[in-house]
Amino acid sequence: MKILLITLFIFLSVFSSYSQKQSKEKHIPDILGYHTLKCDFHMHTIFSDGKVWPTVRVTEALKEGLDAIALTDHIGISKRVKDVNKNLNRAYEIAVQEAENSGLIVIKGAELTYHSPPGHFNALFLRDAQKLDTTDFWYAFEEAKKQGAFLIWNHSIWKAPDSTFIQNGIAEWTNTHTKLFNKGMIMGMEVVNGQKYCIEAHQWCLEKNITMFGNSDIHQPITFDYQDKNRTRPLTLVFAKEKTESAIKEALLQKRTVVWFNNSLIGKEEFLTPLLHSIVSVSDVAYYEDVAEVRLKNNSAFDMILANIGDYSFINRTRIFTLKAGEEFILGVKTGEQLNKFKLKFKILNLLVSTEQSLIGEFECKLGNKKAVGRKAYK
Ligand SMILES: [Zn+2]
Ligand SMILES: [Zn+2]
């Protein structure tokens, strides 16, 4: 009995530290009463030009603590027809079975693959991807719409090699794109695709109120491109009412997303401001002599690069400093005299509200009953 209890104890402690480690990975808090879901809506498998079996995408996503993925194999590119059946729904069927009871949401998708214009578009929430297999792109877009799909213009800076465009890294919005947009067929754009940030797409999303995406477009095993190179996989953070496929679709239609790209978050101020305040907290405000102490804490897996634009300088930090993921420390604020309350004001350099501007955030500091730590706080 004793041995059994000890075994159980060991198992539970190992398991709980394992699950804590898992949940801490890429932790981003919920905001505004929504669930913050970590999603990657663009990836490939052996069923087009990817290099992995669909179950691998599920395992990778679970390992990274993602909430939803879409497998979006190319329509018209099936490099392995000698080895696997040409069936555009099959990768989804395999993945969805693998993800059963895991909590991971798998969305049926496909990548409409045409020369530019229109270029490559992901269609999400499809019923039957097979019906989109045509060289007539207007037919494919109409069919996707008929199936209630959400359409995303992918990597708009990329133009097919034999198109008339020059590969200069600058995305071009053509008449075809205006036609597509007017028909409600450009619902989302990839501001980030893999390691590429598209400033034009970022601008168009803001100007034309298009949903922003950051996706991996991964073809290899994910570790080859990211973990092995110490990179962070790009993600789309979706603010959804529930952790369900239909709630994700509703959130995408309502444009409630933020893009996570390396050490930046890209999105609208209405989402970045509440994210900032749920990630960074100030507490335990106290005075030691005439220097204010403020406990600053980063409650996420995301580093915050702060630039001080407030009225006071700091005793233990320069104007610009990084509040690292999970970090907590006491900031010494030189208010000059003891104040009952004061404000800290920062520009958060890596939270981008537009192509030019970073988010500005203010933190109200009110003197509490906490005893000051004193000079040793900065040693
Ligand atoms: Zn593509
Ligand atoms: Zn792709």
CATH number at residue 189: 3.20.20.140
Helix axes 90-98, 54-63, angle to 10 degrees: 40
Please indicate whether residue 160 or residue 279 has the higher confidence score (pLDDT). 279
Are 238 and 286 within one domain?
no
Structural domain contains residue 8:
no
Looking at residue 321, which CATH number applies to its domain? 2.60.40
Structural domain contains residue 26:
no
Are 182 and 76 within one domain?
yes
Are 41 and 178 within one domain?
yes
Measured in Å, how far apart are the chain's first and last C-alpha atoms? Answer: 50
Question: What pLDDT band is residue 5 in, cutting at 50, 70 and 90?
Answer: low
Query: pLDDT tens, 83-137?
Result: 888 899 999 999 999 999 999 999 999 999 999 899 999 999 999 999 999 999 9
Structural domain contains residue 23:
no
Q: How far is CA 118 from the centre of its chain?
A: 25
What's the pLDDT at 19?
44
Query: pLDDT tens, 61-81?
Result: 999 999 999 999 999 877 777
What's the pLDDT at 304?
97
Q: Please give the average per-residue pLDDT across 212-241, as a whole number.
A: 96
Structural domain contains residue 74:
yes
Paired tokens of 240:
């959804």
- pLDDT of 12 strictly over 90: no
- pLDDT of 20 strictly over 70: no
CA of 23 to the centre of ligand 2 (A): 28
Structural domain contains residue 304:
yes
Q: What percent of the chain has pLDDT over 90?
A: 83
Are 217 and 249 within one domain?
yes
What's the pLDDT at 378?
79
> Which 8-state DSSP code applies to residue 254?
T
CA of 120 to the centre of ligand 1 (A): 5
Which of 206, 241, 262 is the last residue in one of the domains? 262
CA of 139 to the centre of ligand 2 (A): 20
What's the pLDDT at 167?
80
Paired tokens of 224:
């080859």
CA of 265 to the centre of ligand 1 (A): 23
Are 283 and 251 within one domain?
no
Averaged pLDDT of the chain: 92
Are 177 and 113 within one domain?
yes
Q: Please give the average per-residue pLDDT across 171-187, as a whole number.
A: 97
Q: Please give the average per-residue pLDDT across 337-341, as a whole number.
A: 97
How many domains, the chain?
Answer: 2
Are 184 and 323 within one domain?
no
Question: What pLDDT band is residue 15 in, cutting at 50, 70 and 90?
Answer: very low
Structural domain contains residue 20:
no
Contacts of 361 (CB under 8 A, 6+ apart): 273, 276, 277, 280, 345, 346, 348
Structural domain contains residue 235:
yes
CA of 362 to the centre of ligand 1 (A): 40
CA of 249 to the centre of ligand 2 (A): 20
CA of 360 to the centre of ligand 1 (A): 35
What's the pLDDT at 22?
42
**Which candidate, 256, 41, 253, places its Cα nearest to that of 148?**
253
Are 288 and 238 within one domain?
no
Which of 230, 262, 294 is the last residue in one of the domains? 262
Closest ligand to Cα 215 = 2
What's the pLDDT at 8?
55
Query: pLDDT tens, 229-275?
Result: 999 999 999 999 999 999 999 999 999 999 999 999 999 999 999 99
Closest ligand to Cα 72 = 2
Query: pLDDT tens, 138-150?
Result: 999 999 999 999 9
pTM for this one? Answer: 0.92
Distance CA 15, CA 11 (A): 6
Closest ligand to Cα 219 = 2
Q: Please give the average per-residue pLDDT across 156-177, as a whole number.
A: 83
Question: What pLDDT band is residue 50 in, cutting at 50, 70 and 90?
Answer: very high
What's the pLDDT at 26?
83
Are 181 and 310 within one domain?
no
| C-beta of residue 181 within 8 angstroms of C-beta of residue 7 | no
Question: For the CA atoms of 284, 290, 291, 292, what is the dihedral angle to 10 degrees?
Answer: 30
Paired tokens of 145:
């719409």
Residues of the domain holding 42: 36-262
Are 88 and 184 within one domain?
yes
Structural domain contains residue 102:
yes
Are 333 and 184 within one domain?
no
Which of 242, 262, 282 is the last residue in one of the domains? 262
Are 211 and 290 within one domain?
no
